[in-house]
Structures are given as structure tokens and as C-alpha cells.
Amino acid sequence: MSSSAKMDNNCAFCDRTKFEERIIAENKAWYLIATLGQIRGGYVLIVPKRHVPCIGAMKEQEIVDIDSAFHAANNAINIEYGIKPIIFEHGIVCQTVQHAHLHLLPAKIRMCGKIYHDFPQRVNLLSGFAQNT
């Protein structure tokens, strides 16, 4: 299969002219892009070049490619800011941009209190998780 991306003309991440000035790095499979309206320096997005709705819908090789982008960005942020970034994906629910992307936010946030508050019925399931965070 060709590595060329299938474009969605209404998609903000399929048209590189919409974010070209914010591209930090790229290869054949992905972009590393500075976020719009940086709430913190070093806040970046990893965006696959192929239009795919979420990370879970990516092909195995695309996951391998995005993992290499993740490690490169994670290391660079750690060196520059002395902190490992929080990584999250909104996923497909309530997304205005239906194109997979990972957020890497260099910040220390403790999520357990919020999770316990919002999902009290899940506290027992999360007890092991909490010990590791």
C-alpha cells in the first residue's frame, strides 16, 4: 500500500497549510506539531499523516511509527523541561477534529483524586493503579 495519506478536505490535520508554521518535525508517517495557543511551552501534538479517526483505528505499522514519534518527543520534552509529558487522546467522542492525534503536555498532574470523585464506583478497580501513580 502507498504511504500517501488519504485526504479529507474538511479536516484540519489533512491540510498541512493549516499548521505548516507549527511543524516541529515530521517523517513519512507523522507530524510533531506545536499546539495552537500554547498553555505551556513544550505542549505538542503527534499527528499521523493518514486520516484515521483515532489511535485505536490505526494499523499495526502506524502504531509502530507513532511510537517512534512518541519516544523522540518524550525524550526531547524530558531534556528541555526536566519532566515527562502527560499523554492523552480525546478519542472520537465529541471531537471537532476527527483525525487521530496525541497530546503531549509537559506537566505534573495527579489525576487520582479527580478519578475517585468522578467514578466512585470504580475506586476498588483503581486501587492498584493509584499505588503506581
Amino acid at site 123: V
Stretch that binds Zn ion, among 23-31, 73-81, 82-90, 106-114 (CB under 5 A): 82-90
**SS3 readout for 92-112:** CCCCCCCCCCEEEECCCCCCH
**CA distances for 30 relative to 48, 63, 95, 129, angstroms:** 4, 11, 20, 31
The answer to the question of residue 99 lying near Zn ion (CB under 5 A) is yes
The answer to the question of residue 46 lying near Zn ion (CB under 5 A) is no
DSSP label at 20? G
One of 11, 63, 107, 123 touching Zn ion (CB under 5 A): 11
Stretch that binds Zn ion, among 6-14, 33-41, 59-67, 74-82 (CB under 5 A): 6-14
Task: State the residues that interact with Zn ion by CB under 5 A.
Answer: 8, 11, 13-14, 51, 90, 99
